Each structure stands twice: as C-alpha cells, then as structure tokens.
Amino acid sequence: MTTIKQEDLIQSVADALQYISYYHPVDYIEALADAYAAEESPAAKDAIAQILTNSRMCAEGHRPICQDTGIVVAFVRIGMDVRWDDATMSPTDMINEGVRRAYLDPDNTLRASIVDDPAGARRNTRDNTPAVVHFELVPGNTVDVRIAAKGGGSENKAEFVMLNPSDSIVDWVVRTLPAMGAGWCPPGMLGIGIGGSAEKAMLLAKEALMQPIDMAMLRKRGPANGLEQLRIDIFDAANALGIGAQGLGGLSTVLDVKILDYPTHAASKPVGMIPNCAATRHAHFTLDGSGAARLAPPDLTRWPDVRWAPAPTAKRVDLNRLTREEVAGWKPGDRLLLCGKLLTGRDAAHKRIADLFARGESLPPGVDFTNRIIYYVGPVDPVRDEVVGPAGPTTATRMDKFTDMMLARTGLLAMIGKAERGPVAIEAIRKHRAAYLMAVGGAAYLVSQAIKSSRIVAFADLGMEAIYEFDVRDMPVTVAVDATGSSVHRTGPREWQQRIGKIPVTVA
C-alpha cells in the first residue's frame, strides 16, 4: 500500500502544466528540425523557422509557446493499492486545483480559455478549470498521470466517422484532411483511434497523442504489425497532400501518426482523428509516495540552431498611413513587416459588434476601424515588464461570417489571422478590395516581441477577447488573400501536391 499526499498530486499537476507551457517535447522539436532541414517550400520553411525560433525563446524565457495555453486533458491511472493521506478533495478536484495554481502563477500567468455554459452565456471561468480528466483503476501502487494542454484550434478540427468494415482508413484520411484546413497549425501529429464504440474511438485518438514521435525510427526498422504499417501509409498519404506548414504548401504536414485500437462490433468500424498542433504540449509523471514529481528541464542543445529573421524581400508597411490603394497592390505570398497601430478583436468582439449594428447602434467610443487592420488575437496577460504576453493569431475562419459586415460598415482595410479563409470571406475580401494577412500559429512569443505598446479600447469585460490597440514594429505577416480574392492556401497546397506527385490534383 502506497500513501499519496493530496498536495503532491496538486503540485505535480501545477508544475507539469507550467513546464509544458514553455518546453516543447524534445521529440517534437527534433522531428520539426528534420522537417525544417528537408523542406523545399520557402513559405513553409519560413513558418517552421518561426515555430522553432519561438520554441527556443519560450524555453529560455519561460513564457508560453502559444497564446492559446489550451484546455487541460489528463489520463490518470490510479493503482488499486494506493491510499490517500488526509485527502479532503476528490482526485478530480485535486487536478483542478493544480490547473488553477498553474494558470494563475504570477511568474508565468497562462491564458484562461475555458468558458462555462458553453451553449449559452459562455462565461470565462478565469482559472482555466475544469480540466477534462479520464480515470482508470489499475493494479499497482502508483498514480500515473499523462497531462496535456490542448489548443482550441487543433481540437476544433477533430473528426469522427463510422466506416463500413471494408472501407479504407487511408482513403478516409486523404479525403478528410484537406477539408480540415490549416487551423490546426501543422506541422503536427494525427492521433487516430480505431474501434470500440463512437466515444471510445475518439478517446483512443486523444490518448494516442500522448505518445512520443518516433516515425523516423519506425521507418528505419520497418513495421512489425498491421497497425504500424497503417501508421506509415497514413503518414505518407497525408504528406503527399502537400498541405505543408500552416497550410502554405510544402513537404511536411504531419510529423507522425499515432494509432490506438480496440475491439469493435462486427458491423462497425468507428474511426476518430484528432490533430495535434505546433503547440504540442504533454508530460508524463508517476507518483509513488516519495513526494511531488520532478520534471527535469530539457537539454536546449537539442534545439536546432535556427534563428528566424525577416526575409530580405519583406516590405515595411506604415499602418498609420495605410490606404486602400496600397492594400490592393499586395500580392499573395508577399512578406510584410507591419509598423504602427492596429486593432484587435476575435469571436466575442465580432459578435458584439454585429449585435450593436443589428440594434442600429454605433461602435463604442474610441473604436474606429477606418483605414485600419484588425488582428484576430486573444493575448496572454503580460508579466513583469512585458507590454503584452504571447500574442499569436487565432483561426480566421471563425470570423468569416462577420467579414462582409466589418468590411462594408467599419472602413476596415485588412485582417490578420491564422490559416485559410472560407469562400464567404474570400468573396467579401474581393468585393471590398481588402486583404487577409496571415501570421504563424504557434509562434506567439516571437510575434509578441513586435508589439511595443498595448491598451484596451473597448469591451474590457471580455478579458483576452477585448478590443486592444497595439502599436507594432516589424510585425511579420504574409499576404494570404489579396484584393482579387486569390488565396495562398488554395494555390500553395495544390502546387506542392502536384510537385510531390503521389496524389493526382483535382481542381474543385
């Protein structure tokens, strides 16, 4: 019988969540470094360089890899011979207390992203609780915890299908992956769960993402069974799609494919697929009664010597004098360095603006989008002498339905976000001769270095979703949709799928 202290589980969870907020797993970094070395697409290589540079800065500065510090998911195995010493909380409450402690840590405050009443008021719980916890009671005398902070952008792209028993899983992935877009911030991993029931397949897919990346080793030694062969087949097929880093077109879309399976009904073949993003964050620890877990800092010499710098061809743009004519001159793929003032806003601010207009009211005092750019971002709160915490882009497609309204009614010239825009937004951009610029998802701390001042101008009650005014210097973005409606997220993957030449390109 082992005795575990409540405080040891709480502190171990808090420490693990702080650790993964700024340390990428080394296996992810090494696989990404290999992808960087092999990448031939200049746009994708630039994006990977930003992610690698950001990763090193976060590891050194102990600040979050991404502004989205995730929803906490834990898989906990409790040994049947464990007893709890003076426990006043349930294991779920202990884990939530650890989450609270980690996210409110004054030295590295993490962004609280969890809202309760998800179908209604969607109120932020302010401390990122509750976590999603899965328990298993197992033989033994330890408590084993695998814990992750899963980004919303990648979680939103989860897929489930009930295939016919004879259907090909590889074919389903090839059909499904392009439709998921790049909001999951590739290059990352695919977690795939096969079998069981509908909910079991999804749980297996999530649990599979807790495994380390070892595709290079698997390819070298060769598959030992059918599932390992399937991993390789899906890996090859996914990368042959040419989606590339950030959906810009390139050789590396996934760094590994992890699969877990379970027996299923003879009539069923349930398959869950959950991607993990550029902010892959998970840790594993075991409590054996000897105290709180200690996670050793990684050896930073295992990070590649990649230091991102702006391309020499990047054009500097003065945001304080921006005109519609200048915006109309930008071409897809142009690299820009933004200088001057821009406004921010994301889901809740757009909804509030739409509601104001629907009631015949105007924008709040101090909010003027005329000849401005809006940045879709929800930054981490600053600590110490920071102007703002990590502040990378959020998925732009969620703002697609508001784009025509914003461009038609506010005088807005352009938007910054991550990943592609959908047809409705692209048509609005073309109609208003506007533009959409993309910043690299998963490079939030690097991007935040360009922000020289920050102030809230409206909707302060929305917290990280408030409208801020940022003064930026040399903020790096790429033109993703130009004033004619041409999109790099359409042309890039098509070009690279053709170049890789394993899957025929069909023009939609």
The answer for residues whose C-beta is within 8 angstroms of residue 392's C-beta and 6 or more apart is 66, 67, 68, 377, 418, 439, 440, 441, 442, 443, 444, 447, 448
Instruction: Identify each DSSP E strand in 151-303 by its residue range.
Output: 159-163, 188-196, 254-264, 269-276, 282-287
Residue 248 in the binding site for ligand SF4 (CB under 6 A): no
Which residue number, 47 or 317, has a Cβ lying nearer to ligand SF4? 47
Q: Is the N-terminal amide bond of 130 cis, ω within 30° of 0? A: yes
Q: Smallest distance, Å, CB 55 to ligand SF4? A: 11
CA separation for the pair 302, 375 (Å, rounded):
34
Cβ 250 vs Cβ 40: under 8 Å: yes
Q: Is the distance from CB of 72 to CB of 385 less than 8 angstroms?
A: no
Q: With CA atoms as reference, report the closest residue to 398 among 369, 370, 372, 418.
A: 418
Does residue 66 touch ligand SF4 according to CB under 6 A?
yes
C-beta nearest to ligand SF4: residue: 151
Site string for ligand SF4, 390-409 (x = CB under 6 A): --x-----------------
Q: Which residues inside 251-280 make contact with ligand SF4, applying CB under 6 A? A: 277-279
Spatial distance between the Cα atoms of 256 and 123, rounded to a whole number of angstroms: 36
Minimum distance from residue 187 beta carbon to ligand SF4 (Å): 11
Binding mask 157-196 for ligand SF4 (x = CB under 6 A): ---------------------------xx-----------
Q: Closest approach of Cβ 264 to ligand SF4, in Å?
A: 30
Q: Is residue 446 near ligand SF4 by the rule CB under 6 A?
A: no
User: Is 493 near ligand SF4 (CB under 6 A)?
Assistant: no
Q: Does 154 participate in binding ligand SF4 (rule CB under 6 A)?
A: yes
Shortest Å distance, C-beta 329 to ligand SF4: 29
Listed residue (318, 322, 278, 257) closest to 419, CA to CA: 278
By CB under 6 A, tell whether 68 contacts ligand SF4: yes
What is the H or E stretch that residue 479 is in?
A: strand 467-481
Pick 10 or 475: Cβ nearer ligand SF4:
475
Q: What secondary structure letter does DSSP report for 395?
A: B
Closest contact distance (angstroms) between CB of 67 and ligand SF4 is 7
The count of chain residues that interact with ligand SF4, using the rule CB under 6 A, is 14
Task: Tell me whether residue 195 or residue 442 sits nearer to ligand SF4 (CB atom).
Answer: 442
Q: Which of 79, 91, 98, 153 binds ligand SF4 (CB under 6 A)?
A: 153
| The two three-digit tokens of residue 299, written as one number | 């050896």
Question: Is residue 151 a contact residue for ligand SF4 (CB under 6 A)?
Answer: yes
Burial letters 479-496, b for 16+ CB under 10 A, else e: bbbbbebbbbbbebbbbb
Chain residues 448-487 in contact with ligand SF4, contact rule CB under 6 A = none
CA atoms within 13 A on the CB side of 2: 20
Q: Report the interface residues with ligand SF4, using CB under 6 A.
A: 66, 68, 151-154, 184-185, 277-279, 392, 441-442
